[in-house]
Amino acid sequence: MADAEGTWAQPGVHVADLDDLRDAAHDRAVLSEARVVLARRLGVPPGEALQHLIWLARDLDMELSEAASLLVKDGGGGPVGAVAAGRRAPRTQAGTAERQAVLSEAEDVLRRVTAEDTAGDAEILARVPDDPAARAVLDGALDASAHLVPVRGPDGDVADFLFVDLNDLVLDMFGRGREELAGRRLLQTDPGAVLSGLFDEYVDVLESGTPLERSSIQYTTAQRGLSRSSRMSVRCVAVPTGVCVTWRYHEREDRIARRLERVERLALIGFGEWDLATGEAAWTPQMLANYGLDPDQVPPMPHDLPKVVADDDLPLVEEAVQTMFSRREPVEAEHRVTGRDGAPRHLWVFAEPVLAESGLPVSINIVSQDITRRRGVERALAETRRQMLKQQERMAQERRVAVTLRRAILPDEDEVEPLPGLRIALRALAAESTARIGGDWFATRAFPDGRSLFAIGDAAGHGLPAAAAMARTRNGLLGLTCTREPAGRLVGWLNELVSSMDPPATGTAVVAQFDPRGRVLEWTCAGHPPPILIRDGRAVPMEVVRDPMLGAVPDWGYMTITTRLSPGDMLFLYTDGLVERRDADLDERIARLTGILRDCATQPESMLDDVLARMEHDRAADDTTLFALHVE
């Protein structure tokens, strides 16, 4: 016989804790699945799909987990018009083998020139007379400029050049300026002069006097195992003492051009210009790609532009062109073209006329952006939203059915069957959120021999499945009571019934039989929070045998606990909706409830009112059922 004043302190995890963990894991799994489903529909990465799911939930005014559940239940078909961005990762211009070859060749040059005797360099520099022509070149240069004098070998040929002076604008590809380069040899500091052939051209300028001018060359040099490349412009002129070289690296311009190309490629933005005087068109490669043209094709002029757009969009484009020329104002429009792959593509276009002093347009600037992916995502999102709304309506209908079923199955509080020897008070509160209506149930039955049965339980889950499981569980128990078997045997049979349900179901329950002649209570707990006994101003959770919840373990033999009650005792039964909170420990909540019951009024109705007022439970999250039974 179990001690009625024992405590529910068995080691292990409470079933309610397991339910909470299972719910949290379920929410995470649903959210992860919904993200994958939406990513497949929209043709976007999962991270972007998650952001769209958040926006959808906000747009539909629902919780993220609810929106994810709707999306998963909808089935998640394939893509609905969404397309990939049409971009590929860029490749570096020079491979590892090419860079290694440049370094190897530069190192050969450096080994050769470093081996040469430089002991006489200072003497060569000391003999260089003042050269006004060289000084004028350095002072007047707008770019980096250097005055070089030749270093001749034993045979009289020019073996190298020495830096006599440099202007303040000099900064070579390794960041060295005037102070680091003055007095040093050209090839030792910049072997690229040999690799590019410039050294031989400097020698030719020195010997022939013919100026050298190269507007744009690809220049590569190396130093200390590092290579640098850039386009450069160079000019070399002869002066009385040697040559003056003026150069400019186009690294900054090239960097800007590369950035612009990346912007075009990543954003699928193209730029173009029409010269109305010459009839010529200059379009960037991305502009051509947006209109499905090959790089070698001639771009259409403004009046020919309608010929390349989709037939349905012709009136829109023709009107935009007419407006631009007649009103001489910028225009913008969206139209479709056929891409290189034959698929339709959406372009957003902005064009503006450039006017001469006479007010007539002389050229047209045009920008286009391929927004096909965006439109595809928008269509897919719109379709997804429509399907989610339909699914939401279906679920709302299920909830209405669940509410109706709950009302039909459970009697009203004032219609509860009286039980011999007990005074009963009951509160059965459905969740305020219809989406969270669960499977709480209660049952009472008086037998002809004076004994009675009362029970409280909770079918796992929410909505129509939980309501259906609740109805079958409660009705099954009431049907089994005709056998007059002990509570443990009844719950064992009830467990088999719940285990065989389709779809599968689980739940918790406390089933008790009371004999008023000896005030003996025989009861069984199937994974349910323990009843609380209030006696002589004390309140303690009753000790339970830790039998599993219904439907969890088939063929389980449930124990029947026998507790002898006394006149004036109060039994308090409840469902987890009263004590469960995600931000609190279940044992702490049960201890709080026990303390409240210790201080509550001794009348059943007043006791239930006090508990509901002081427990601060979440009415929106779950159903809540309370049973108070006073032993007479």
pLDDT digits (tens, 9 = 90+) for 378-388: 888 888 888 88
Distance CA 237, CA 274 (A): 40
Residue 41 resides in a domain: no
Same domain assignment for residues 342 and 463: no
In this structure, is residue 387 part of a structural domain? no
- Is 36 a member of any domain? no
Q: Is residue 169 part of a domain?
A: yes
In order, the DSSP letters of 320-337 are HHHHHHHT---EEEEEEE
Q: Are residues 233 and 275 in the same domain?
A: no
How many CB atoms within 10 Å of residue 517?
10
Structure confidence at residue 27 as a pLDDT band (50, 70, 90): confident
| Same structural domain, 190 and 304 | no
Q: Check residue 417 and give its pLDDT.
A: 86
**Residue 153 is assigned to a structural domain of this protein:** yes
Most confident stretch, 118-122, 263-267, 528-532: 528-532
Is 454 in the same domain as 595? yes
Assess if residue 236 is contained within a domain.
yes
Q: How far is CA 306 from CA 300, 302, 303, 395, 564, in A?
A: 9, 8, 7, 49, 94
Task: Answer yes or no: do 541 and 587 share one domain.
Answer: yes
State whether 314 and 273 are in the same domain: yes
Q: In the sheet where 144-152 sits, what is the strand order?
A: 158-166, 144-152, 242-249, 226-239, 212-223
Q: Could you say which of 216, 249, 282 is where a domain stops? A: 249
Higher pLDDT: 110 or 344? It is 344
Residue 47 lies in a domain: no
d(CA 622, CA 615): 14
How far from chain centre, in Å, is Cα 432? 32
Residue entry with tokens 């609380």: 532
pLDDT greater at residue 96 or residue 339: 339
DSSP string, 364-414: EEEEEEE-HHHHHHHHHHHHHHHHHHHHHHHHHHHHHHHHHHHHHHSPPGG
Domain count, the chain: 3
Can you tell me whether residue 491 is helix, strand or coil? helix
Model pLDDT for residues 241-276, shown as the tens digit of each residue: 999 999 999 888 878 877 888 888 888 999 999 998
263 and 220, same structural domain? no
Write down the pLDDT at residue 311.
86
User: Of 3, 8, 119, 138, nearest to 591 (Cα)?
Assistant: 8
- 528 shares its domain with 468: yes
Regarding pTM above 0.85, the answer is no
- pLDDT for 7 equals 36
In angstroms, the CA 540 to CA 595 distance is 9
Same domain, 331 and 445: no
Which pLDDT belongs to residue 442? 92
Q: Is the pLDDT of residue 1 over 50?
A: no
CATH number at residue 336: 3.30.450.20
Give the mean pLDDT of 198-223. Answer: 91
Q: Label residue 25 by pLDDT band (50, 70, 90).
A: low
CATH code of the domain covering residue 616: 3.60.40.10
Residue scoring higher pLDDT (120 or 405): 120
Higher per-residue confidence, 5 vs 305: 305
- Do 307 and 190 belong together in one domain? no
Predicted local distance difference test score (pLDDT) of residue 15: 45
**24: confidence class by pLDDT, cuts 50, 70, 90:** low
The pLDDT of residue 323 is: 87
Q: Is residue 53 part of a domain?
A: no
**High-pLDDT (> 90) share of the chain, %:** 41
Residue 10 confidence (pLDDT) above 70: no
Contact 239, 137 (CB under 8 A): yes
Q: Which residues constitute the domain of residue 288? A: 255-375
SS3 274: strand
Give yes or no: residues 350 and 245 share one domain: no
Comparing 16 with 527, the larger pLDDT belongs to 527
Asked if pLDDT for residue 6 goes beyond 50, the answer is: no
- What's residue 389's pLDDT? 87
From 218, 249, 280, the end of a domain falls on: 249
Question: Do both 566 and 446 map to the same domain?
Answer: yes
Residue 14 has pLDDT above 50, yes or no: no
Rounded mean pLDDT of the chain?
85
Query: Final residue of a domain: which of 210, 225, 249?
Result: 249
